[in-house]
Amino acid sequence: MISIKRWVASLIPIVYVCYLPVQSLLIPGIQNRFYEIMALAIYFSVAIPTLALYRGLSLPIGQAIANLLASFAIPALVIFQRVVISSDDIGAWMVMGTTVVLTATAVRQKRTFAIAGLLVLIGQVVFVYGPYSLITAGLAGSLVFVLAGLGVSRGIQRANKESEKYREREAKALASITALEAAKAERTSRLKQVLASSVPMLTLIAENKAPLSAESKQSARLLESSLRDEIRGRGLLTPAMRSELLRLRSLGVEVSLLDEGGVGELSREDLESLLSKVIAELQPITEGRVTIRSPRGETFRITVVATLPGVAKPLVSLRLS
């Protein structure tokens, strides 16, 4: 993307702003230019700040109001000057100069003020010089310029909105990628820890030719369950949850841990808070079967069901959001 500094972008219109009154000021034989000079002072005081100052695209409301007032004062002063000197030769810059200010106001997102200023300009000129001035005084060109500014203003506004949406999507995508990478790194670390802890048991099984003792079999079953939890339960595992799962399985409770993506968007603090509620509900359980799930696409985050064989009513049936 090509970047252009504000002063560079403003240079050409400012040169045009300064050039507009030159022809009028060079007309010889005019002794009284007091009101035209006042109009010029107002013109420069609003045109240059509108074109060159203020950060961002949108014009401050105070400057927009000043531009609207200038669209009344500039034509009024020039017309009065013509009356004073009984000549319409001077002030040809009046219409286009005011138009430049209003067009810049429209482009800088103050469209209502630009439209109101255009109506004021047209109204004054038509009131003094009649409907024919719509053609002869350059008002048709003024209308075209301001309408073009309004179109550019809407186009820039839409482009800015699309750019903001793109930046938001980009930020969300980067956040998702970061979260996925962090989760992947965490899962890899967990698996390494579990595999490291399983090596002694696996070595014992491989090297021991005699049948395993009841204690070794129980340790192997717990190890198998831990490995399954790491694979299927990923996001539901915290140190406290691991301790609770070990307690339940040591008592002979059959436990299933299923992370289906329902807690992926939770912060660590919120997840630990939900899991602490799960652990509190499971404290009375000493037998049967426990299933803990985090379903995706539901209004709740975690479900917990604890049952006894042959008993229809569950000991625990919980949905946590």
Tell me: the pLDDT tens digits for 48-85? Answer: 888 777 777 778 888 888 888 988 888 888 888 888 88
Boundary-marking domain end, from 137, 167, 197 = 167
Q: How far apart are CA 259 and CA 160, in angstroms?
A: 40
Boundary-marking domain end, from 133, 167, 201 = 167
Helices (H), the chain: 6-19, 22-25, 34-52, 61-85, 94-107, 111-129, 133-136, 139-207, 214-232, 239-250, 268-282
Q: 281-312: per-residue pLDDT in tens?
A: 888 888 888 888 888 888 888 888 888 887 87
Boundary-marking domain end, from 99, 133, 167 = 167
Residues 155 and 223 both lie in one domain: no
Residues 161 and 214 both lie in one domain: no
Is 89 within the bounds of a domain? yes
**pLDDT computed for residue 9 by the predictor:** 56
Q: How far apart are CA 244 and CA 235, in angstroms?
A: 15
Q: Are 110 and 59 in contact (CB under 8 A)?
A: yes
Residues 98 and 237 both lie in one domain: no
Residues 229 and 282 both lie in one domain: yes
Residues 109 and 23 both lie in one domain: yes
Is 181 within the bounds of a domain? no
Residues 128 and 224 both lie in one domain: no
Amino acid at 154: R
Residues 33 and 157 both lie in one domain: yes
Half-sphere exposure of residue 27: CA atoms within 13 angstroms, side-chain side: 16
Structural domain count, the chain? 2
Is 172 within the bounds of a domain? no
For tokens 């429209």, the residue is 106
Residues 133 and 219 both lie in one domain: no
Per-residue confidence at 212, pLDDT binned at 50, 70, 90? low
Q: Are 129 and 137 in contact (CB under 8 A)?
A: yes
Residues 221 and 155 both lie in one domain: no
Nearest to 247 by CA among 279, 278, 274, 269: 279
Is 188 within the bounds of a domain? no
What does pLDDT average to over the chain?
A: 78
Is 29 within the bounds of a domain? yes
Residues 155 and 225 both lie in one domain: no
Kindly state the average pLDDT of the residues 206-228: 68
Instruction: Tell me which residue range forms the domain holding 43.
Output: 6-167
Is 193 within the bounds of a domain? no
Per-residue confidence at 261, pLDDT binned at 50, 70, 90? confident
Is 163 within the bounds of a domain? yes
Q: Which tokens in the block code for residue 114?
A: 């630009």
Residues 125 and 241 both lie in one domain: no
Neighbours of 211 (CB within 10 A): 8
Q: Which residues are CB-neighbours of 39 under 8 A, at least 6 positions away? A: 73, 74, 77, 78, 81, 91, 94
Residues 255 and 116 both lie in one domain: no
Is 120 within the bounds of a domain? yes
